[in-house]
Amino acid sequence: MPLLTDLSAAVAAGKRIDTIRITQELLAAGTSPQDVVEQGLVPGMANVGELFRRNEIFVPEMLVAARAMKEALKLLEPLLAKAGIKPKYTVVIGTVQGDLHDIGKNLVAMMWKGANFAVVDLGTNVSADRYVAAAREHNANVVGLSALLTTTMPAMKETVRLLKEANLPNVKIMVGGAPITQAFADEIGADGYSADAGSAVNIALKLVGEAA
């Protein structure tokens, strides 16, 4: 449907007013809210992730796109809730204890939201116990740990250890942040590592067993 394609393009370009207008037109035309999300918003944000990976857009443009997406979701979420439609996957995310940086964490949360995951954002300076409790409470599929400071790397290691010990067999642990590498992720026993926010959706989908 051309309107869904237009919606994807409007989201990717961060055109908030167009995004709202096209969403309203799609709903008025009888398109289901789920289709609007899955065939309009999700492809739009996926395109944003791809453009970011290719350095064709940068963090501010990602945020502008996410804002547009959020405006559409404001219209759609009540309808989805009314229809009893929930996102397929739940993800918990936070910045590890001792680290107050949240830009990277917010970008990943935003991309996950754009992929229609239910996102539980624990914020910054999150203790290992809070990650474990949230993963259990929300029956999370993926827990994302972010760190910017090298000084907080030990906290990330400890959080992974406690999550592994918490007997949550369905939870996959994903890590990221400026000083983090695949080697470090392997060293501390994380299940996945994302080098940037643009890759975070595909990595999470792979972790939950969906081909990305």
What are residue 175's DSSP bridge partners?
A: 145, 193
170 is an interface residue for another protein by CB under 8 A:
no
In b/e form, how buried is each residue of 105-139, taking b as 16+ CB within 10 angstroms? bbbbbbbbbbbbbbbbbbebbbbbebbbebbeeee
183 is an interface residue for another protein by CB under 8 A:
yes
CA distance linking residue 111 with residue 105, whole number of Å: 10
For another protein, which is the closer residue by CB, 111 or 140?
111
Contact track, another protein, 99-128, x by CB under 8 A: -x--x--x-----------------xx---
Instruction: Enumerate residues 6+ apart whose C-beta is below 8 A from 113.
Output: 66, 69, 70, 73, 119
164 is an interface residue for another protein by CB under 8 A:
no
59 is an interface residue for another protein by CB under 8 A:
yes
184 is an interface residue for another protein by CB under 8 A:
yes
Residues found near another protein in the complex (CB under 8 A): 56-61, 63-64, 67, 100, 103, 106, 124-125, 149-151, 153-154, 178-179, 181, 183-184, 187
